[in-house]
């Protein structure tokens, strides 16, 4: 017997693995596209270690999925094979943490311990293999892999035996193995209330960017990054080349986030044909922002190779330009959301 649950192999948020795994499920169901586009409007940035590149993340975390995905710890039956097949037969996906040093299709195979999640979405009883999605497998950042029944069973046992306490902080991320089951289908339109209050939270900015714990959210993330690169340009602070990897991930994340923003605005345009002037302006501004971020990614790679002051100056200018664009979007978006509510009140009055 062959069983495969719907899955998307490129949900678009590979720089945030815990989101990407769950979005690979949700994007496979069209009913969730509006729910997805009702979230992820904001970024946040925090200096977690002054010697590292500032960490930029989506503002929302895993708790947002609790309203639509049931997550249950998987109980081992006679084997993990039996438990996983049983869950898949009940239309439940499997999220499991593995040591990718022991997985032949992983780029970390026989190199170093990497405990990371994967999604198991199917199996083939005749071939005795599970089908999964994981990170850095088969030459892809997030791609498909197949793994024999017995091998996955051994890997889960290895995770629990050797890493249960080392990785205990992942227990609320689905560690070591949980089932994920869709339990609620939301409205098929973007939730404007969620968008409004997300935009309304965009108020925090700490200009002392080299201080541990300094923080910004929403459009202020780009002002924060402007100040960060200005410190590199004008002070004695220097970013170690060993941080270039994280820097590149963050640059790519900014672009991934912008694509999500554009998809949200496009869906709002589709849903509001009679009141679309400001949404078209927002879309055009998002395109401008994406164009600048693409150039900033290019400049970042160039600086990492040449370390020239004029490139840092261009990075500063670019981040400030994105901040100005995003500030305009923020004001325009909030105003449109409020006006759309007022229009509903006026229609209800008639």
* Number of other CB atoms surrounding residue 335 within 10 Å: 11
Report, as an integer, the average pLDDT of 98-117. Answer: 93
In the predicted model, is pLDDT for residue 70 greater than 90? yes
Angle at CA of residue 302, ends 137 and 51, nearest 5°: 75
Helix (H, G, I), strand (E, B) or coil at 177: strand
- What pTM was estimated for this model as a whole? 0.91
* Options 3.90.70, 3.30.2420, 1.10.150, 1.10.10; CATH of 2-36+69-182: 3.90.70
**String of DSSP letters for 238-306:** ---GGGHHHHHHHHHHHHHHHHHHHHHHHHHHHH-TTS-HHHHHHHHHHHHHHHHHHHHHHHHHHHHHH
Strand partners, 216: 45, 205
The pLDDT tens digits for 125-173 are 999 999 999 999 999 989 999 999 999 999 999 999 999 888 888 888 9
Report, as an integer, the average pLDDT of 11-38. Answer: 93
pLDDT given at position 263:
96
Where is pLDDT greater, at 185 or 245? 245
pLDDT given at position 237:
83
pLDDT given at position 169:
87
Where is pLDDT greater, at 322 or 340? 322
Report, as an integer, the average pLDDT of 223-237. Answer: 91
Query: In degrees rounded to 5, what are phi and psi of residue 276?
Result: -115, 0
What radius of gyration do the chain's Cα atoms show? 22
pLDDT given at position 238:
83
Give dist(CA 234, CA 22) in Å, integer. Answer: 42
Helix (H, G, I), strand (E, B) or coil at 181: strand
Query: In degrees rounded to 5, what are phi and psi of residue 48?
Result: -85, -20
pLDDT given at position 38:
95
Long-range contacts of 270-275 (CB under 8 A, 24+ apart): 271/189, 271/190, 272/340, 275/339, 275/340, 275/343
Buried residues in 76-106 as b, exposed as e (16+ CB within 10 A): eeeebbebbbebbeeebbbbbbbbbebbebb
> Above pLDDT 90, what percent of the chain?
80
The overall average pLDDT reported for the chain is 93
Which has the closest alpha carbon to 144: 108, 118, 179? 118
In the predicted model, is pLDDT for residue 275 greater than 80? no
* Number of other CB atoms surrounding residue 112 within 10 Å: 9
- Alpha helices, DSSP H, located in the chain: 17-26, 33-36, 80-89, 149-163, 192-200, 220-234, 244-271, 277-306, 309-349
pLDDT band at 324, cuts 50/70/90?
A: very high
pLDDT given at position 187:
81
Strand partners, 122: 4, 131
- Indicate the range of 31-45, 79-93, 110-124, 226-240 predicted with least confidence: 226-240
Q: Where are the domains of the chain?
A: 2-36+69-182, 192-349
In the predicted model, is pLDDT for residue 350 greater than 70? no
């Amino acid at each position: 017997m062959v069983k495969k649950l719907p899955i998307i192999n490129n949900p678009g948020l590979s720089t945030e693995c815990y989101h990407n795994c769950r979005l690979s499920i949700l994007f496979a169901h069209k009913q969730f596209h509006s729910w997805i586009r009702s979230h992820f409007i904001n970024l946040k940035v925090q200096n977690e270690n002054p010697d590292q590149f500032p960490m930029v993340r989506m503002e929302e975390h895993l708790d947002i999925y609790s309203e639509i995905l049931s997550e249950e710890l998987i109980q081992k039956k006679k084997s993990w094979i039996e438990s996983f097949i049983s869950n898949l037969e009940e239309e439940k996906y499997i999220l499991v943490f593995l040591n990718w040093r022991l997985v032949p299709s992983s780029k970390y195979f026989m190199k170093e311990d990497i405990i990371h999640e994967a999604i198991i979405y199917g199996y083939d009883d005749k071939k005795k293999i599970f089908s999964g999605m994981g990170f850095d497998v088969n030459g892809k950042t997030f791609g498909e892999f197949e793994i024999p029944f017995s091998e996955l069973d051994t890997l889960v046992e290895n995770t629990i035996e050797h890493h249960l306490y080392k990785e205990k902080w992942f227990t609320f991320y689905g560690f070591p193995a949980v089932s994920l089951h869709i339990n609620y289908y939301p409205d098929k339109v973007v939730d404007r209330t969620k968008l409004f209050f997300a935009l309304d939270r965009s108020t925090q900015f700490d200009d002392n960017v080299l201080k541990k714990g300094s923080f910004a959210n929403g459009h202020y993330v780009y002002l924060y990054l402007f100040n960060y690169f200005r410190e590199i340009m004008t002070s004695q602070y220097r970013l170690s080349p060993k941080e270039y990897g994280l820097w590149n991930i963050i640059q790519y994340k900014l672009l991934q986030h912008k694509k999500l923003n554009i998809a949200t605005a496009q869906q709002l345009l589709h849903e509001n044909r009679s009141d679309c002037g400001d949404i078209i302006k927002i879309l055009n501004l998002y395109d401008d922002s994406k164009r600048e971020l693409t150039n900033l990614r290019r400049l970042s790679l160039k600086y990492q190779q040449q370390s020239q002051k004029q490139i840092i100056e261009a990075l500063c200018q670019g981040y400030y330009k994105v901040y100005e664009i995003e500030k305009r979007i923020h004001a325009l978006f909030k105003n449109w959301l409020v006006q759309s509510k007022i229009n509903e009140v006026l229609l209800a009055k008639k």
